[in-house]
Chain A
């Protein structure tokens, strides 16, 4: 055990560290940053490939013919007609009848849901089960489509529902199904999907209360959600990012991509239509396009938000993605119709039908710079590790400064122990917990945003005013130790977070690492500069900034003249974060309040104590 027992080694290390830690930290951060940006490049990424041989994609003759296409078109027209009616609503009876007429077991699932600060509401879903002829209902797959009212600004979905009906029409008499196929149409966007998936697995949640399902099929192996507006599309966008940055198994995406390409359906990810064009020949253009796609995926994963209803399936260990049909130009008809889509979907289902085990090969953790290239976990973890390394180095240095004092420092105020700084750490976490509780409880008082505003202001005020306490009670010697412990907490937290949601950890590391490791300089200007930097990186303010920026990008108008509007448009997005936590478990708000805010408060305390 020479590693642990060699006396004097640690002192040597401490000296070496004290001399070089600043350079090393800077180097590690820069290397980490460069590496992070480099992994998107073609030289570092891998080409996608099938790991699961059982899938056997695209080996069968398509059975989906123009008869089925005609059926889809007819259903589509019926659906559009229903939509056009003045009192149009979710056509439960129509869908139920349609599936029943096809000979499937069709059921209606009704549920009640309560959003915080909102009354009880009621919703319904329609699902139909096609029983497999070759197996005894032990496994199944889901084809789902959300229903959207005619007033929606999102992608219309009648095409998807019609396609589901046409596929049911095509599949029903086939003898080769070994997995039950569930056709599912939900309303109320994500609430509907959540209600159905939870009811299927017999789980109660605080938001949705639903009646038990009338019938079930086997364990769901995969789910495809279709958001197809209608025929005449140009390309399909595969939405893969789920809640908290969870990804489906890469084989599923490979499968979808392969079967789409067989039908010459252009497939993009992250809605990046640049991927449709020819690959830029110049290196820089090529790289920038990949970078843009990858960073879109990273930000989307970091936000933890839903990209589509598939996110709920992923929470139950069901591999799933959403296929969204898009047009390049709203006024021109594309060349992809129900026939191509039908054949592609049929191929996907036939392939999934071959699965012998649930998806377990291939990758679950990856980032995609292009549809056919990916960065796996083994490639993207090292840069993050190096990016976070400065925290560890600085923490070690500050720690050894405390445990090997250089004479006079010790005499000044005695050495500091963990016990002396513990109250401050507890205080900072209490502030974080307070912010979280305030955020959650303010939700139930919405739409009265005043509560949110007061709560937010109060917690921020407390967080900002901690130096009043520290300047009196926190000694400078302790500040070093507090800094060290804060850095350790940040490092450990980031490494843990990187397992849960790599993208969020990466973004936080990029911003927080350089700010957190800086020690308070004696120079006045630099000191003020660091103070400013700290202010800007306060997690709550950063989040507010991001939300405002998002709002500006989507075209919301922020005018200071109209105070009510300001309240609604500036504060609603922030409370939206807490809403997402309550409704579908987006962890961004707990991470923000219970991890980043306390760390920031500690750094803030250190800033005002030392120097």
Chain B
């Protein structure tokens, strides 16, 4: 290993250690208690308190899905029961350890991806005008970007809080990161199967992630030789195989769960719950306020509409961004976070830490200031308005919901901005056009 590599490795180890320590609940019990109670971190589908309740019910021989408290999947239940039996200390180390593992997965994913991106653009854009060349990903990104992703994940306050609150988003994030990592290995068949299996696991854990399938399929197709890709039958064959692996794994997981639980009640507790969102505890999403205000007879209609709204984006985004499927996955992750019923800071932190991969887009983005200020305002005002509404009783739900809208709007602005910047860059590279407007790159 050369000197540079050693420095890189040392940084990783040090940052990892810092991240692990920061996530230990014993470091700051006050903060831990604070985040555990925050609705921004703990939502019905990932709260530790509910998970622990489910484990307790399961251990006492009661079906946890009979009640209205527990919404984790049965495998998660088994896993947490095991983990809990190993003691409090183990549990307190398990969550940070999983988070560090996620960060490591993301690190290697970013590394593979940036390398692939550079190889690809060498191939695609051989002769560019010098100014347009500035848009390309330079070689120096190979060590820089993965480290940035790692640090963004390790030191991301959203992720740290989410881990401290022991939300199960930690596991979903790990599964997603593993999926991304295996996908980035390219043509290796084992990796392909693994990535589909991890997508199935992630979707099993959080229903809406199945929407990543089209984008993931296209991503897997990028490593297929060009000869095969040009033939329709091969394409269809790949789609059938991928869909088959994904579908079989997912249904296998569900059937296996029903065998463990001995009943199908978990379907209602997990998946029907995730779609119809009957728990209207306020959170940072759009659903709770809408469904509290709405007349009950329209509920079914709007549940369907909202579910369709989330699903609507999967195929168009994947098709439009078919030349850059990893970016499509990134965009879809943001959209799912915006439109699913129970989003939490854990999801927000995950997609945020992927952003450094596309940091070359930043100079083309126009709204970074607005987006970050809106985000800052929302993050500061969430606890303030919660206190005014719930504890002091002087404000009301409208105040809290207004800030939710600011938060959502900031994410929508962000996703628009980043997609637009991506398309602009693509256009410029393709047409070898200097610039639409003055770009200032460092």
Binding site for B on A (CB under 8 A): 1, 4-5, 7-8, 10-11, 246-247, 314-315, 317, 358, 360, 364-365, 396, 399, 403-405, 410, 414-415, 417, 488, 492-493, 495-496, 499-500
Contact = CB atoms under 8 A, between A and B. Distances in A.
Interface in B392-428: 392-396, 399, 413, 416-417, 420
B381 A496 contact: yes
A354 B416 CA distance: 54
Contacts of A495: 377, 381
B440 A7 contact: no
B394 A4 contact: no
Nearest to A5: B420
B437 A11 contact: yes
Given A246-B394, A317-B392, A492-B376, A499 B385 contact: yes
B388 A499 contact: yes
A183 to B, nearest CB: 24
Contacts of B392: 246, 314-315, 317
Given A364-B395, A415-B440, A492-B377, A396 B367 contact: no
Interface of B: 366-367, 369, 373, 376-377, 380-381, 384-385, 387-388, 391-396, 399, 413, 416-417, 420, 436-438, 440, 442
A496 B436 contact: no
A10 B366 contact: yes
A241 to B, nearest CB: 13
5 contacts: A11-B438, A246-B394, A314-B392, A396-B369, A500-B388
Given A246-B394, A364-B394, A499-B385, A4 B377 contact: no
Contacts of A405: 440
A403 B440 contact: yes
B384 A317 contact: no
A317 B373 CA distance: 32
Nearest to A495: B377
Nearest to A405: B440
List the 5 closest pairs (A to B, CB-CB), nearest first: A364-B394, A317-B393, A496-B380, A7-B437, A492-B376
B437 A4 contact: no
Given A317-B391, A492-B376, A492-B380, A4 B440 contact: no
Contacts of A360: 396
Contacts of B395: 364, 499
A247 B394 CA distance: 8
Contact of B417 (A4, A11, A317, A396): A4
Contacts of B376: 488, 492
Given A10-B366, A314-B392, A4 B413 contact: yes
A261 to B, nearest CB: 26
Choose among B367, B373, B395, B416 the residue with the greatest number of A CB atoms under 10 Å from its CB: B373
Contacts of A404: 438, 440
A568 B367 CA distance: 53
A496 B377 contact: yes
A281 to B, nearest CB: 37
A334 to B, nearest CB: 35
A480 to B, nearest CB: 14
A5 B395 CA distance: 36
Choose among A4, A5, A396 the residue with the greatest number of B CB atoms under 10 Å from its CB: A4
Choose among B384, B396, B399, B417 the residue with the greatest number of A CB atoms under 10 Å from its CB: B384
A476 to B, nearest CB: 18
A11 B254 CA distance: 54
A317 B377 CA distance: 26
Contacts of B393: 317, 358, 364
Given A4-B367, A4-B420, A317-B391, A492 B373 contact: yes
Contacts of A8: 437
Contacts of B380: 492-493, 496
Given A317-B391, A403-B440, A492-B376, 10 more contacts: A4-B367, A5-B366, A7-B437, A11-B437, A314-B392, A317-B393, A396-B369, A417-B442, A493-B380, A499-B381
B416 A5 contact: yes
Nearest to A414: B442
Contacts of B417: 4
Contacts of B367: 4
B416 A1 contact: yes
Contacts of A488: 373, 376
A403 B392 CA distance: 42
Contacts of A11: 437-438
A10 B417 CA distance: 13
Contacts of B416: 1, 4-5
Contacts of A414: 442
Contacts of B438: 11, 404
A317 B394 CA distance: 8
Nearest to A249: B394
Contacts of B388: 499-500
A500 B384 contact: yes
A215 B37 CA distance: 30
A488 B377 CA distance: 10
A314 B381 CA distance: 21
A315 B390 CA distance: 11
Contacts of A364: 393-395
B436 to A, nearest CB: 6
Contacts of B394: 246-247, 364-365
Nearest to A8: B437
Nearest to A319: B393
A179 to B, nearest CB: 18
Contacts of A399: 369
B383 to A, nearest CB: 10
A341 B417 CA distance: 65
Contacts of A247: 394
Nearest to A489: B376
B384 A499 contact: yes
B384 A410 contact: no
Contacts of A492: 373, 376-377, 380
Contacts of B442: 414-415, 417
B137 to A, nearest CB: 18
Contacts of A246: 392, 394
B360 to A, nearest CB: 14
B306 to A, nearest CB: 22
Contacts of B420: 4-5
A4 B399 CA distance: 26
Nearest to B367: A4
A336 B387 CA distance: 41
Nearest to A243: B392
Nearest to A500: B384
Nearest to B435: A7
B366 A4 contact: yes
Contact of A410 (B369, B373, B377, B440): B440
B133 to A, nearest CB: 19
